[in-house]
């Protein structure tokens, strides 16, 4: 099929009114009154950001989810997204059937529609890029640079599941045996956390009400907390004994404590880390609970950095985050 037929079959059904049926050269989006636009873009390449063997619907969910996670961390409500798709020579109709289905399901769950984009051929690996658009009340976007010494540092959800899941997914694809630490836990749960991010869009009202600074945790908790604090001109004092862990991650660490470094520096969590003034902490926890999003205080902003391990001793790591470059 040609490009027009491909768009009409797989992507036009995902378009909202602003996308004009994907038959025009551009979309026309009217932002809500009194709001600023928030824009973010991420590119994902097979073999670097996901495995070419990953399920197509999961690839789609991740491509959209990583962008929605950025919007959530800024306190923005998603308005829509643009998709650019570079297809390798071996693409199949089955792949696009499953990819477009997964993209539609992820978008419907977030209440967003496709606005447009581009589809091209490539001799290289499958390459995907999404630009997501969101809106916040005028002047209310949460930046990285607002934290102050004494602010409490919170993180959503659980940390490290995706990094552990990535390790297991790599072995799964290679046909390798499970490592000893994974033989008595739910490996499927960890792999699913790697495959399908959970953007914390439900937390945006709580963030706008209480957070001074925020960003999503995409490349590793330690490195991303450092990036957040550095942008604010402060440092972090972290207590890893307070680290929120899922049951499988906790079991993995009990079996192999050396996995802690992967858990806190491995990336792909797509949780949110934020700084909250002490006097707003109770309200933040209350609003997060009402939104159904678990939040955990893991430290505080301060003049100098310190990282305490689960045993209370100072910890250093060979690297602080994952790099895709």
Q: Which residues are annotated as a binding site for substrate?
A: 49, 268, 322
Which residue numbers belong to the known binding site for Mg(2+)?
A: 25, 40, 42, 70, 118, 216, 219
Pairing of strands 306-308, 235-239: parallel
Answer yes or no: are the C-beta atoms of 142 and 206 closer than 8 Å.
no
Structure-token match 């079996």, residue found: 255
Which residue numbers belong to the known binding site for ATP?
A: 117-118, 144, 218
Q: How many Cα neighbours within 13 Å face the side chain of 217?
A: 30
According to the 3-state scheme, what is the secondary structure of the chain? CCHHHHHHHHHHHHECHHHHHHCCCCCCCCCCCCEEEEEEEEEEEECCCECCCCCHHHHHHHHHHHHHHHHHHCCCEEEEEEEEEEECCCCCHHHHHHHHHHHHHHHHHHCCCEEEEEEEECCCCCEEEEEEEEEEECCCCCCCCCCCCCCEEEEECCCCHHHHHHHHHHHHHHCCCCCHHHCCCCHHHHHHHHHCCCCCHHHHHHHHHHEEEEEEECCCHHHHHHHHHHHHCCEEEEEHHHCCCCHHHHHHHHHCHHHHHHHHHCCCCCEEEEEECHHHHHHHHHHHHHHCCCEEEEEEEECCCEEECCCCCECCCCCCCCCCC
Answer yes or no: are the C-beta atoms of 232 and 301 closer than 8 Å.
yes
Which residue numbers belong to the known binding site?
A: 25, 40, 42, 49, 70, 117-118, 144, 216, 218-219, 268, 322
């Amino acid at each position: 099929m040609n490009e027009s037929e491909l768009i009409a079959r797989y992507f036009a059904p995902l378009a909202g009114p602003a996308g004009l049926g994907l038959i025009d050269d551009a979309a026309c989006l009217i932002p809500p009154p009194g709001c600023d636009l928030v824009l973010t873009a991420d590119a994902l390449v097979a073999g670097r950001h996901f495995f070419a063997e990953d399920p197509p619907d999961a690839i789609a969910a991740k491509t959209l989810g990583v962008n929605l996670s950025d919007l959530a961390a800024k306190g923005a409500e998603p308005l829509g997204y643009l998709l650019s798709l570079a297809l390798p020579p071996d693409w199949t109709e089955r792949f696009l059937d499953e990819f477009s289905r997964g993209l539609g399901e992820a978008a419907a769950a977030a209440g967003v529609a496709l606005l447009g984009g581009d589809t091209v051929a490539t001799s290289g690996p499958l390459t995907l890029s999404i630009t997501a658009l969101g809106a916040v009340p005028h002047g209310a976007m949460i930046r990285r640079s607002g934290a102050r010494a004494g602010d409490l540092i919170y993180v959503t959800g659980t940390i490290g599941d995706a990094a552990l899941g990535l390790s297991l997914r790599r072995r799964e694809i290679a046909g390798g045996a499970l490592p000893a630490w994974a033989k008595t836990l739910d490996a499927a749960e960890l792999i699913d956390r790697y495959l399908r991010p959970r953007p914390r869009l439900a937390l945006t009202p709580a963030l706008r009400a209480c957070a001074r600074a925020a960003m999503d945790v995409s490349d590793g908790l330690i490195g991303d907390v450092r990036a957040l604090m550095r942008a604010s001109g402060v440092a972090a004092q972290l207590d890893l004994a307070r680290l929120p862990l899922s049951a499988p991650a906790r079991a993995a660490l009990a079996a192999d404590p050396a996995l802690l470094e992967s858990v806190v520096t491995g990336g792909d969590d797509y949780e949110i880390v934020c700084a909250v003034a002490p006097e707003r902490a109770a309200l933040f926890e209350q609003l997060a609970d009402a939104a159904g999003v678990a939040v955990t205080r893991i430290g505080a902003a301060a003049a100098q950095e310190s990282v305490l391990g689960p045993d209370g001793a100072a910890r250093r790591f060979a690297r602080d985050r994952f790099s895709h470059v």
